[in-house]
Amino acid sequence: MSHLAKILIVDDRAENLLALEATLEPLGQELVRARSGVEALKRLLLDDYALILLDVQMPGMDGFETAARIKEREKSRYIPIIFLTALSTQEQDVFQGYTAGAVDYIAKPFHPEILRSKVRIFMELYEKTEQVKMQADLLRQRDLRDGERLLRELQRDLEQKHLMDMAQLQFGFLRDVLLSVTEGRLTLCQSEEEFPEPLSVPIGHVSLSPHGAIRDLRDCARKAATQAGLPDLRWQDLVTAASEAAMNAVVHGRNGEGQVYLDPRGSVQVWIRDHGRGIAIENISRATLERGYTTAGTMGHGFWLILETVDRVFLNTGPTGTTIVIEQARTRPQPPWLRE
């Protein structure tokens, strides 16, 4: 790299700081210690950092509170944070870390090479940022007027690329967490290309509108489930989930449509699309897992009910619309941990 990037390592235990320094020393970057959340905040006021490695369990101000304070400041709010914890990685801890602004959450004891690889990614992002800044400075010296114009373009491109890189990292982290927490039932997709192929037999297409058609979709799903041989409780759960997803498309979306497919060997697939404003990434964890939460401010079972009643759900959502694919088989599949 052209110059050293500063990495802030925060832990109240000296032996942990020493272990982090030994692990990260091969990367050749400047490592700055902080023994508490308060000391970390002071150091962030004095200098710029490419990355923060933050211990969760510290006396006084813990890692979650420290991260929240960091994100409140304009100077430091965009610095990526990796949480290190000797605590559990249970659902509530992981989501608390993600809500506090983490881009990753690593349990101690960590594998040195894995930690170095993760840190190396952020150092490469930092290096690219610095390279663009240097190029902008050279252009300004050569021709001030043209350089200023190019600088604005480069800064805009840099900001867009940085946001895209960070969004990609956060999306991947959130997708992995949701897949783990739901035991493989919920897959968050960046595009419809990541959805499964439609099953072999199309059963029906239903146009969804505020004036009806949800009953038609329910009847179509029940017909497919009957032909696929789903037991009563299984097809009833499928119809319940399809109704909930369709209602969300009608209430929160526009120009919705539903499609139903089956595999005669014993499974049914329901596709529901709409073109309304989808769920923002910062709300996805609550919207999919928290019972009674909706982004529209009304109470309902929402995704919680869908995940409780079907085998698999694939979700793609964004500013231009939402697509949900629901799958149900004759028998509920075993969770990944049990299959292994």
Q: List the CATH code of the domain at 186-339.
A: 3.30.565.10
pLDDT-flagged residues of the chain (< 50):
1-2, 296-300
pLDDT at 148: 63
Q: What are phi and psi of 78, to 5 degrees?
A: -100, 5
Which DSSP string corresponds to 123-178?
HHHHHHHHHHHHHHHHHHHH-HHHHHHHHHHHHHHHHHHHHHHHHHHHHHHHHHHH
Which tokens in the block code for residue 301? Answer: 């079972």
Domains 1-181 and 186-339 share a fold: no
Q: Which of 114, 106, 113 is nearest to 53 (CA)?
A: 106
Map out the domains of the chain as residue ranges: 1-181, 186-339
Q: Which of 122, 123, 82 is nearest to 106 (CA)?
A: 82
**What CATH superfamily classification does 1-181 receive?**
Response regulator (3.40.50.2300)
- Count other C-beta atoms under 10 Å from residue 229's C-beta: 16
pLDDT at 183: 86
In whole angstroms, what is the distance from residue 191 CA to residue 65 CA?
Answer: 34
Strand 6-10 relative to strand 51-55, pairing: parallel
Strand partners, 313: 186, 326
Longest distance between any two alpha carbons in the chain, whole Å:
76
Residue 70: enclosing H or E segment and its boundaries? Answer: helix 63-72
In whole angstroms, what is the distance from residue 274 CA to residue 124 CA?
Answer: 38
Report the amino acid identity of residue 115: L
CB burial readout 53-79, b (16+ within 10 A) else e: bbbbebeebebbebbebbeeeeebeeb
Which residues have C-beta within 8 Å of that of residue 252, sequence separation ≥ 6?
A: 274, 276, 277, 295, 296
